[in-house]
Every structure is written in C-alpha cells, then in structure tokens.
Amino acid sequence: MEIILGKYGELALKGLNKNAFESALIKTIKKRLSRFGDFRVYSSQSTVYVEPQNESCDIDSAYDEFKRIFGLIAVGKAAICEKNLDAISRCAVSYLGSELENAKTFKVKSKRADKKFPMTSMELSAEVGAYILDNYPHLKVDVEEPELEVICEVRDSVAVVHASQERGAGGIPNGTGGRVACMLSGGIDSPVAAWMMARRGCEIVGVHFMSPPYTGEGALYKVERLAGKVARWSNRFPIYEVPFTDCQVMIRDNAPEDLFTILMRRSMLRITQMIAEKEECGAVVTGESLGQVASQTLKAIQCTDDVAHMPVFRPLIGNDKIEITEIARRIDTFDISIEPYEDCCTIFTPKHPRTRPALDLVIKAEEEMPALKELEKAAFEASIFKMFRFDDEVSL
C-alpha cells in the first residue's frame, strides 16, 4: 500500500511541549487532506503517516497539499510491507521499479528503529542491495553519490520503503505561534514576510492599504490573489482592506515632500495597530529589508517605530532581494507580485525622500496635521474584512 510520510524537524526537540505541537500538526493534516478522501493520520517516532483507507482517495492531490503543511522538514511517498527481509526486498523492487530501471547507480540505506529486528542496518542494506542487483543487473552501487537512494525503515509495526524524500514546508504547526497583523502590499516582499511568520506557527491577519481612485480594482484583486496563495500554506488568511486615500492626501498637501514616505509609514502603522488590537494580535509584521528603499534605512525605521506600542517584526530585515525572490518563487507569489499594478506605497512618492529623517521634524510635521488622527480612525472604521482559506476555489 502506498502511503505518505512526513518527518519532524524541530518538533522532535520540543520536550514536554511536544505533544501539543504534535496534536496541532495532526489536526491540521486531517483538516487539509479531508477533501481528498478518507485518510488515517497518525504519528510514531517523529514521523507522520498518512494512510488511504480506500481506493477512492486521491493520494497525489493529498501529497501536493501535504507539502505545504508547516511542521514537517521532509515529505515523501512510501510503501509499507511486512517486517521481514523477503517482504522488504520484494517491496523495494516492485515499488521503486521505474526509478531503478532508469537509474545507473544506487545505494540502499536502512534505518532500524525496531532494535529487535534480527538484522543490523548494514546487513539489511547489503541483502536488499543484492536482491536489487539480481533484478536490475545494469545497476552499479555508488555509496558516495548515487543517482537513486533506496531507503528501508524498520519501524515498530511495519517496514517502510521509499526513495529520497523532498523538502517539506518546515517551521512549526499552524496556530502554535500566536497571532500577528501583517501589512500586505502588492509587492514581492510582504507576502513572503507573511509566509515566514506563518511558518513560525503564527496566525496571520493581513492589512492592505488601498488608495482609490489612484489604485484600481486590478491592484486590489492582485493583493487578494496573493492572500489566497499565502492561505494555501497558512490554512487561512483574513485581510482588512483599508481606504487610505484621505490620509495620503492630507500628508501630501500639508507636509514637507521629503518626509511624505515616513509620515505615510507611521500613519499605516497606527492604523495597523488598531486592527491588531481588534483581532487580538500580539505584534505587527512588515516586509521591510534594511536599506532596500528610503523608508527602510535604520533612521527611517526608528522614526516609524516611534509610534509602535507593540512589537514590530521584520522577518526579511537581513535578506537581500535575490533571497526574497527565491522564497517568493517557492511559495508561488512572485508572478503575481510583479504584475504592473500600483499600490498605495508607489503613488505620491517624493522625488527625493529623506533617508535619514530626524524624528523631531517628523513629529513637528504631524503636529501641523491634527486632523490626521481622525482620518486614520475613519479609515480603520471603514476597512473591509475578507477571508481567504486554503481550499478556496479562486483564480490564483
């Protein structure tokens, strides 16, 4: 029988809290795979097993979903068989036949979790390897860099045979890391930042600032599709769409042009914190990377955080654009992010933004706009709530 396997990463190191993390992981897996059929999901020896209970189960779709579940460092399909040499050898040849046929070199790696099994790991590898060579004489053994690695695991109740596993989503299970509000633009960075915090077990609440009529339906739809992409990893992704035009116009018409960007960021952070408090979030998340643009210099970040009364997490702060883009491609947000729709951060951009703003000048500029706080409150109250889930059938 073909099954799905997932190996723990840091969950195995959680000590007395391990059971709570395991329970959250199993709950998520059952929820996420239920639409593909009836699967038995259980864990043993830091491994998750997903077993189809009937032939109607769509194991290929379930496996594709499984690869996006946080908490697993490696995933793969496998076959289970009886715990004896003959059964393991036959299973290796029958289950991995096509891979063995197409490979030139291989090796067998055995793991003997059941120490009562009457063969050592090296003995089992040698015997299974010999059986494979008898059936595929074109193969050669290469223990250093084989094209195919055949893995035989002797567990408590069964033996498991599979090839090398794929990289899993990593991180820790959904919902185990608290709740955070993430400022979500239509660019490359912020969806990656949201994904990275979801990977640390956080429930994400998105906050998107829109500026009609300067930003249109295309820009909003772009952000909603990005939210849908992140939700495929995070279980769900609620977002608040905040009408920010009045705040931006107030700043544009009443503040020094070179301070516009930093004043806008402070205003957005104040509104995001209102939403974070409403949603009982413990922190705000942004997609900023140090020095990437004028508003992300150290001095500019200091000026922005002056209005913060809760932690502001910047998971990308030390990453360069190439590294961020690699993650965006992995999570399938990159192609949407580069679509040519302007967001509120790119309109009214000053020609020469100040990269080292002085906090006293920024505060003075805000004091000359007493109505700004009321506009921020109105924007918060007028925000529109939408929910995106991992199983939404939307155009992504």
- Is the same domain home to 239 and 148? no
Are 7 and 108 found together in one domain? yes
- Residue 174 forms part of a structural domain: no
Tell me the DSSP string of 202-230.
Answer: -EEEEEEEE-TTTS-HHHHHHHHHHHHHH
What domain range is 105 assigned to? Answer: 2-167
- Both tokens assigned to 173: 């299970």
Structural domains of the chain, count: 2
Cα maximum dimension of the chain = 85
The per-residue pLDDT for 149 is: 96
Same domain, 158 and 185: no
Whether residue 24 is found in the same domain as residue 147: yes
Is 394 within the bounds of a domain? Answer: no
In-domain check, residue 267: yes
Specify if 396 maps to a domain: no
3-state class (DSSP) for residue 136: coil
- Show which of 141, 167, 193 is a domain's final residue: 167
Comparing CA positions, the residue from 230, 348, 359, 260 lying closest to residue 305 is 359
β pairing state of 105-112 and 47-52: unpaired
Are 227 and 356 in the same domain? yes
Task: Report pLDDT for 393.
Answer: 64
- For the CA atoms of 346, 350, 353, 359, the dihedral, rounded to the nearest 10 degrees, stands at -90
151 with 32, same domain: the answer is yes
* pLDDT recorded at residue 392: 82
Are 142 and 213 in a shared domain? Answer: no
Residue 51: beta bridge partners?
Answer: 40
CB atoms within 10 A of CB 380: 20
Q: φ, ψ for residue 357 (rounded to 5)?
A: -65, 145
Say yes or no: 245 and 370 in one domain: yes
Q: How far is Cα 201 from Cα 14, in angstroms, rounded to an integer? A: 14
Q: Is residue 395 part of a domain?
A: no
Q: Is the domain of 120 the same as that of 190?
A: no
In 9-137, beta strands by DSSP E: 39-44, 47-52, 72-81, 105-112
- Token pair 């496998």 is found at 78
Beta bridge mates, 387: 238
Which residue is associated with the tokens 């009364």? 309
- Residue 346's pLDDT is what? 67
Closest among 79, 97, 99 to 88, alpha carbons compared? 79
Residue that terminates a domain, selected from 145, 167, 189: 167
Provide the CATH number for the domain around residue 368. 3.40.50.620
Here the CATH number for the domain that contains residue 68 is 3.30.2130.30
Please state, in angstroms and rounded to a whole number, the distance separating the CA atoms of residues 115 and 112: 6
Do 163 and 184 reside in the same domain of the chain?
no
List the beta strands (DSSP E) in the chain.
Answer: 2-8, 39-44, 47-52, 72-81, 105-112, 140-141, 148-154, 159-162, 166-167, 179-183, 203-210, 236-243, 283-285, 312-313, 384-389
Answer for the pair 70, 95: CB distance below 8 angstroms, yes or no: no
CB atoms within 10 A of CB 200: 16
Q: Are residues 199 and 330 in the same domain?
A: yes
Residues 287 and 313 in one domain: yes
Label the pairing between strands 283-285 and 312-313.
parallel
Residue numbers in the chain where pLDDT is lower than 70: 344-347, 393-396
